[in-house]
Amino acid sequence: MNGAESLVRTLKLGGIDVCFTNPGTSEMHFMAALDRTDALRCVLGLQENVVTGMADGYARMADKPAATLLHLGPGLANGLSNLHNASKAGTGIVNIVGDHATYHLEYNAPLTSDIEGIARPVSDWVRTSPVSEGIAADGAEAIRQANTHPGRIATLILPGDTAWNEGAEPVPAPKPNAPAAPSADKIEGAVKALSSGKPTGIFLKGPTLREPGLTLAGKIAARTGARLYAPTSNARIDRGAGRIAVERVPYVVELAVERLSDLEHMIGIGDAEPVAFFAYPNKPSRILPDGCNVQHLATEEEDGTRALEMLVDALDAHNETPPVAERREPELPAGELTQDTIAAAVSNLLPENAIVVDESVSSGRQLNWQTAGALPHSWLSICGGAIGIGLPLAAGAGIASPDRKIVGLQADGSAMYTVQTLWTMARENIDATIVIYANRAYRILQGEMTAMGVREPGRVAKDMFGLDRPDLDWVSIAKGMGVEGEKVEETESFIDAFQRGLATDGPYVVEAVI
């Protein structure tokens, strides 16, 4: 078998089942190997940021990496910003990037580029396979890297001749290093803080925002009165009625500072502490009050869940019954369509076990508490601030979890970034209801300009923040890519449209004009 086939078989052997792709000429032998082996499900995206964002959404729900197949440097470059998001989310992905045959590079043909250089800023591991006999082993190592806790971006570059020359047998992926448990003295320090009687927070991150981490954290909270926090944006929180509630730190610096203002101890599970999303003149970068003692119980590479277990042990908190979020079913709202009536309707109508993909940006600032009492669901956010992840994340989650309803809460400006995803949703019949908050603006920037100390946007800025002139017509855009939808301008019709979306087995767009 040639190198390409040895790589495809290695991927399959290593537990990879799905390949998100937009292939080109240099990937033809890989495509042929996919044809021969039928080993992976292939999903086409019409631009590579759709491809990489889908791989992220898939891994967040499937709990294992997908592969992407990308066309040389430019194909990788097009997918770079959602790889940035995936990297910040701690998602594992195996990128396969085709390149020219090694002997062709010296001719500097149009598509020649520094692929390793493009890959490096968003990859934890990059390798170019120079010979076909080595590609299977390199692929196995890429899988090991991607599976390393909490998840890594591994980029393997496959020159044409490495693909088409004779390869070795497929190679089983080596076991990733298990995440280290935290040291006993860290546990001791945390116990001391939690027993101090002073206001103490636990800052959860990554996989601890799901079971069994949540229940462990809940027991610690029940035992000690600690408050549970999470970053503003997270790869996945399992939440809603019946689950341990965690407060996400608000985006707006002043609000965040206020919410955490009395904390004297913060125990980090993951190596970060709450920080401002941006720097602003005369505003702090750190959110915690001066003098708050910060300890990190586990870095992101360490086993945060194990750390919580050890803490439960040390606190003898196994028999605690942590309080859980209650079901709150806000009355169905009516009248003018606003962010708040949308939130109330979504919270009321969200189906059990839904996957919410939140790229609502400024329109969703209150969604965290507004949906806290919805039926249990998973909540996926944009983790790296690179807008344009919502639609691909929804599509990828749908590939991983075909039996769960996806609800996309989607800002209009961000949706445009990867609007091509709608076509993949139609093709793959992704069961997603996408609510477009059509405020006809990069509304967030109007607030940010004030936050930056500039009083009012002038003519130029208003023009650059506006998505009006012309208004985007989401129903036509969706129709153009094979997705049904409707536009609504008041709350009752939003509720009807949202319910029609939920009742549809496949993608449905609700353009909510607010």
Residues in 265-324 that interact with its own copies by CB under 8 A: 272, 275-279, 281, 285-286
Candidates 12, 17, 32, 301; binder of its own copies (CB under 8 A) is: 32
Say how many C-beta atoms besides its own lie within 10 A of residue 114's C-beta: 9
Does position 393 interact with its own copies (CB under 8 A)? The reply is no
CB of 120 to its own copies, least distance (A): 6
Q: What is the CA radius of gyration of the chain?
A: 24
**For residues 260 and 264, what is the distance between their CA atoms, to the nearest angstrom?**
9
For residue 174, give the DSSP letter: P
DSSP code per residue over 65-131: PEEEEEEHHHHHHHTHHHHHHHHHHT--EEEEEEE--GGGGGG--TT---HHHHHGGG-SEEEE--S
Q: Decide if 308 contacts 484 (C-beta within 8 A).
A: no
29 vs 239 by CB, closer to its own copies: 29
The conformation of residue 285, written as its DSSP 8-state character, comes to S
Which residue, 31 or 263, has its beta carbon nearer to its own copies? 31
Nearer to its own copies, 275 or 325 (CB): 275
Name the residue with tokens 């493009």. Answer: 118
Considering only residues 179-218, where is the footprint of its own copies by CB under 8 A? Answer: none
| Partners of residue 378 on adjacent β-strands | 238, 355
Q: Among candidates 465, 200, 426, 187, which has minimal Cα distance to 314? A: 187
Of the pair 148, 381, the CB lying nearest its own copies is at: 381
Integer Cα distance of 181 and 192 in angstroms: 19
Q: Least distance in Å: CB of 108 to its own copies?
A: 7
Measured between its terminal Cα atoms, the distance across the chain in Å is: 57
Instruction: State which of positions 226-265 bind its own copies (CB under 8 A).
Output: 233
Shortest distance (Å) from residue 372 CB to its own copies: 23
- Residue from 325, 475, 502, 513 touching its own copies (CB under 8 A): that is 475
Nearest-approach distance from CB 416 to its own copies, in angstroms? 4
Of the listed pieces 25-33, 328-336, 358-366, 430-438, which binds its own copies according to CB under 8 A?
25-33
- Nearest in space to 175 (alpha carbons), one of 146, 144, 145: 144
CB of 450 to its own copies, least distance (A): 9
Distance CA 413, CA 423 (A): 18
Question: Which range of residues in 84-92, 140-148, 201-209, 305-313 is near its own copies by CB under 8 A?
Answer: 84-92
88 versus 198: smaller Cβ distance to its own copies: 88
Stretch that binds its own copies, among 30-38, 194-202, 303-311, 321-329 (CB under 8 A): 30-38
Q: CB of 250: closest distance to its own copies in angstroms?
A: 14
Residue numbers 54-83 binding its own copies by CB under 8 A: 72-75, 77-78, 80-81
- Choose, by CB under 8 A, the member of 15, 63, 121, 180 that binds its own copies: 121
- With CB under 8 A as the contact rule, the residue among 385, 487, 500, 506 that binds its own copies is 385
Cβ at position 362, least distance to its own copies in Å: 11
Find the binding residues for its own copies in span 365-384 (CB under 8 A). Answer: 383-384
Q: Give me the 421-440 binding string for its own copies, x by CB under 8 A, dash otherwise.
A: --x--xx-------------
Least separation in angstroms between CB 311 and its own copies = 25
| CB of 112 vs its own copies, minimal distance in Å | 9
DSSP state of 253: H
Nearer Cβ to its own copies (165/493): 165
464 Ramachandran zone, left/alpha/beta (phi>0; psi -120 to 50): alpha
Q: Which is closer to its own copies, CB of 35 or CB of 352? A: 35
d(CA 50, CA 133): 32
Q: Evaluate whether 355 touches 397 at the Cβ level (below 8 Å).
A: yes
Nearer to its own copies, 183 or 446 (CB): 446
| Residues in contact with its own copies, shown as a per-residue x/- string from 4 to 23 under the rule CB under 8 A | -----------------xxx
Burial 210-236 (b: 16+ CB within 10 A, else e): beebbbbbbbbbbbbebbbbbbbbbbb
* Beta-strand pair 237-239/377-381: antiparallel
Residues of this chain, 127-186, that bind its own copies according to CB under 8 A: 160-161, 164
